[in-house]
Amino acid sequence: MYVARLSHPADYDGWREAARTAVELGIPPEAMSFAVGEDVANLFAEPLPARPQAPARRVTVAKAFPELAGRVVCHSDPQRFDLAYRLLWRLQSEKGLLDVASDDDVIAAVEMDKAVRRDSHKMKAFVRFREIEVEDGTRHYIAWFEPTHHIVERTAPFFVRRFTGMVWSILTPKRSAHWDGADLTFGPAASVEDRPKDDDMEALWLTYYASIFNPARLKVKAMQAEMPKKYWHNLPEAQLIEPLIRGAEAASRRMLETAPTLPSFRHERQAERDEMAKVAAEPRTGNQPATIEAAREEAKACKACPLWEPATQTVFGQGPDHAPVIFVGEQPGDQEDLAGEPFIGPAGRVFDQALATAGIDRAQAYVTNAVKHFKFTPRGKRRIHQKPNVGEVRACRFWLEIERDIVKPKLIVALGATAAASVLGKSVTIRDTRSRLIDLDPTTKLLVTVHPAYILRLPDPEAQARETEAFAADMGLVRRTVPEIALA
Ligand code: URA
């Protein structure tokens, strides 16, 4: 029988080194044991010999094993190191062992893995620091936490990332972790007496907790599942839970009685739709310019909504006076505002790429926007795009009507919901209208698709690739509907 001594209860590095040596030496699991620190080992066990220079066998493991073993050795079960070693031993001849969900060793390891993850999650959620002042005036933050498993080492880096600028210690009955602003170190177990009792932070935390407590959303069972009672005695806010629960019903009634009557989201959407429908029904007035050039000249002085003022210039549509297709975007972006031309920035590049994929010649199309001024909020040196509101779309719809009257396209392509709302005079969803040819009048059809900026904003590359393809497919439909727009 052999024994390997590990330096602390979650000493994965020590276990890995010893386990590797033992496999290389051909020591089967029943002849191998592990002991932590000075713990008494099997009286007849000999220390594990040094790693052989020329091992009889090479250790190989499944890819998922190191991570699994790393968590298993953090479990509080005294058999954890033996179990991890037995798995390592068996994996040398049973390559697919970890996929055998009915294997007793695999079942035990998976259960330990889950328990350790859960415990680590609880530590992240329930550690509460208390502020203490040490002699030289520096502030030190101390937390007391009682984990079920040996998770302090693996969870402490989370607190380093969260509280990098603070000097803190997390004390637990298993281990303690200390961060001095530069180094993370671990020490022995602490006792509950080491924990400081009260501080200002705690008072603040209590006030905060009581103020975010929403009696109308009280779900006692769910709350106890997330914040099990065993953690309550270390959470300052826990002392508030019982009285808050008791007072919840009355507080909830008071909330209902005194709640402001804000319109619901559905009502707001309805009001928006009504507004759009009204705009669609309004007759157009005034002398209309006969050419795009004349309209562009007139639009330079447009002050129909407040967006003209902070913007650099009106960005009018571009393209032949009698193009067979009008593409309508939302509003010019930062680069379009400076250059005075639509769709030349990042969204424009996505648009150009989709046209190229579909074999469409942009020079033969008329490209414009529902709103002709850039709407933004300044942030430092940057101008951050803001979505135009119904009133702004409404005010600018006049110009889109003029463009439609002059160009008389066979097809209008609305890029995004704002463009679709402006063309139709009512709000629609992209989901309900996309990729279908809709009759606007006997000679004009409408195709609704996404805005190219939507594709740019997708964080997941796979979704981006999928949406780029779908957008190019919509452009393919444009080309089939209006073949004269194809690249020569
Ligand atoms: N987004 C738009 O909707 N239009 C542009 O011209 C540029 C970006």
Q: Nearest to residue 455, comparing CAs of 396, 415, 398?
A: 415
Stretch 336-364: mean pLDDT: 96
276 and 184 in a common domain: no
Please identify, by atom number, the ligand 1 atom nearest to the C-alpha of residue 416. 3
Please identify, by atom number, the ligand 1 atom nearest to the C-alpha of residue 315. 6
Q: Is the CB of 330 under 6 A from ligand 1?
A: yes
As to burial, measured by CB atoms within 10 angstroms (0-12 exposed, 13-18 middle, 19+ buried), residue 388 is buried
DSSP annotation of 359 reads T
422 and 444 in a common domain: yes
The predicted pLDDT at position 258 comes to: 46
Q: Is the CB of 388 under 6 A from ligand 1?
A: no
Q: Tell me which range, 41-55, 184-198, 218-232, is most confidently predicted by mean pLDDT.
A: 41-55
| pTM for this predicted structure | 0.47
168 strand-pairing partners: 141, 179
Residue 418 has pLDDT above 60, yes or no: yes
Stretch 448-473: mean pLDDT: 95
Residue 430 has pLDDT above 70, yes or no: yes
Q: Give CA–CA dist 94/221, Å, rounded.
A: 43
Stretch 191-207: mean pLDDT: 59
pLDDT-derived band at 197 (thresholds 50, 70, 90) equals low
112 and 133 in a common domain: no
Q: Is the CB of 449 under 6 A from ligand 1?
A: no
316 and 237 in a common domain: no
How many domains does the chain contain in total? 4
Q: What angle do CA 122, 128, 133 make, to 5 degrees?
A: 150
137 and 54 in a common domain: no
476 and 379 in a common domain: yes
The predicted pLDDT at position 260 comes to: 40
The predicted pLDDT at position 62 comes to: 84
* Lowest-confidence region among 82-86, 141-145, 286-290: 286-290
Q: How many helices (H) and strands (E) does the chain have?
A: 17, 15
pLDDT-derived band at 244 (thresholds 50, 70, 90) equals low
Final residue belonging to a domain, choices 96, 122, 148: 122
| Pocket perturbation via mutation, ligand 1, pick of 307, 334, 367, 369 by most ligand atoms within 8 A of CB | 369
CATH number of the domain to which 288 belongs: 3.40.470.10
Please identify, by atom number, the ligand 1 atom nearest to the C-alpha of residue 452. 1
The predicted pLDDT at position 156 comes to: 94
Structure tokens at 339: 């250059």
Q: Is the CB of 452 under 6 A from ligand 1?
A: no
The predicted pLDDT at position 162 comes to: 81
Ligand 1 centroid from CA 284, angstroms: 25
Final residue belonging to a domain, choices 122, 157, 176: 122
Three-state SS string over 63-114 comes to CCHHHHHHHHCCCCCCCHHHHHHHHHHHHCCCCCHHHCCCCHHHHHHHHHHH
403 and 389 in a common domain: yes
Q: Give CA–CA dist 179/152, Å, rounded.
A: 13
- Is residue 261, in this structure, part of any structural domain at all? no
pLDDT-derived band at 488 (thresholds 50, 70, 90) equals confident
Assess contact for 79 and 90: CB atoms under 8 A. no
The predicted pLDDT at position 259 comes to: 43
pLDDT-derived band at 206 (thresholds 50, 70, 90) equals low
- Is residue 262, in this structure, part of any structural domain at all? no
pLDDT-derived band at 177 (thresholds 50, 70, 90) equals very high
Q: What angle do CA 424, 430, 436 make, to 5 degrees?
A: 75
Q: Give CA–CA dist 131/253, Å, rounded.
A: 37
Dump pLDDT digits (tens) for 380-402.
778 889 999 999 999 999 999 99
In the three-class reduction of DSSP (H, G, I as helix; E, B as strand; rest coil), residue 144 is classed as strand
pLDDT-derived band at 261 (thresholds 50, 70, 90) equals very low
Structural domain including 146 reads 127-194
Q: Is the CB of 347 under 6 A from ligand 1?
A: yes
Stretch 114-141: mean pLDDT: 83
Dump pLDDT digits (tens) for 267-316.
545 555 565 555 555 544 456 799 999 999 999 999 899 999 899 999 99
302 and 212 in a common domain: no
Assess contact for 109 and 72: CB atoms under 8 A. yes
For the chain, the first-to-last Cα distance in angstroms comes to 83
The predicted pLDDT at position 415 comes to: 98
323 and 308 in a common domain: yes
| Pocket perturbation via mutation, ligand 1, pick of 343, 374, 384, 413 by most ligand atoms within 8 A of CB | 343
- Strands of 139-144's sheet, edge to edge? 130-133, 139-144, 168-171, 176-179, 184-187
* Lowest-confidence region among 193-207, 322-336, 372-386, 429-443: 193-207
- Is residue 263, in this structure, part of any structural domain at all? no
